[in-house]
Amino acid sequence: MASSADVHVRICGQEIIKYDLEIKAIVQDIRDCPGPQSTLMELNSQVKEKFNKLRLRIQDLEQMAREQDRETDRLAIQAETESQRRQMLSNQTAWRKANLACKLAIDYTEKDELLRGGDYQSIRQRKATKESLVETSSNITESLMSMSKMMAENVKQSEDTIGTLATSSRTVQETNEEFKSMTGTIHLGRKLILKYNRRELTDKLLIFLALALFFATVLYILKKRLFPFI
């Protein structure tokens, strides 16, 4: 039966997958967006909200990894966290590229309308929106840099954890070797004790035979001197 912690980890993982799929769908909408600028801004607002939720759930998953009692569970959840962070970084890169592609398409449309004598006010509004898109692109770049820094810190933490595990493994191996050595010494001691026990039994038997021979000799001499006629 799954524990409460396992259930929470599973639910968190499912929510991360859900946000990841929703982000991919919105990024595709941005890539295919023909305009206007207001539609693009709305899509960017939606994807930004999804990224914030996704980032929080990944942080929750990372915290759950720290709270695990078993080392194997902790390492498995940490690996999943790193995988999700890389996936989020990939989505942010795709988001930035989609915005650039959409911006180029809208620029082309605006230039075409300008050449055809389009409305100046409309073009001015689009220019203001374009500046907003540039700011959004800058925010995405900053977010990517922050995510890269965070991933580097997590990689260092994972390396430290692996180093600790390697040290622990060597300690266990050395202890096992010492145990084997002690086992061999105990086995040798047992063999020596058995050998000494057998030798002691042999010595006792020889002493008994020597005493028996001595008393038999004494009795024989007494018999010859006291009862020579027998």
Angstrom distance (rounded) from CA 108 to CA 194: 98
Rounded to 5 degrees, φ, ψ at 117 are 85, 45
Q: Is 194 within a domain?
A: no
pLDDT digits over 56-107, tens only?
999 998 898 888 888 888 888 889 999 989 999 999 998 988 888 888 877 7
What is each CA distance from 4 to 9, 11, 68, in whole angstroms?
A: 9, 11, 12
When mean pLDDT is compared over 43-47, 137-141, 155-159, the highest value belongs to 43-47
Q: Is the pLDDT of residue 1 over 50?
A: no
Between 80 and 201, name the one with better pLDDT.
80
User: Which pLDDT does position 151 carry in this prediction?
Assistant: 61
When comparing pLDDT for 96 and 133, which is higher? 96
CATH code, domain carrying 86 = 1.20.58.400
User: Residue 63 sits in which domain range?
Assistant: 1-117
Q: How many domains does the chain have?
A: 1
Q: What is the pLDDT, as a whole number, of residue 49?
A: 92
Torsion sign, CA atoms 151, 156, 160, 162: positive
pLDDT value, residue 21: 93
pLDDT at position 192 is 78
In a domain, 30, yes or no: yes
How much is the pLDDT for 8? 87
Residue 38 lies in a domain: yes
Residue 121 pLDDT greater than 60, yes or no: no
82 falls within a domain: yes
Q: Is residue 109 part of a domain?
A: yes
Q: What percent of the chain has pLDDT over 70?
A: 70
| pLDDT single digits (tens) 35-56 | 777 888 888 889 999 999 999 9
Backbone region of residue 225 per phi and psi (left: phi > 0; alpha: psi in -120 to 50; beta: other values)? alpha
Residue predicted with more confidence, 178 or 42: 42
State the average pLDDT for the chain. Answer: 77
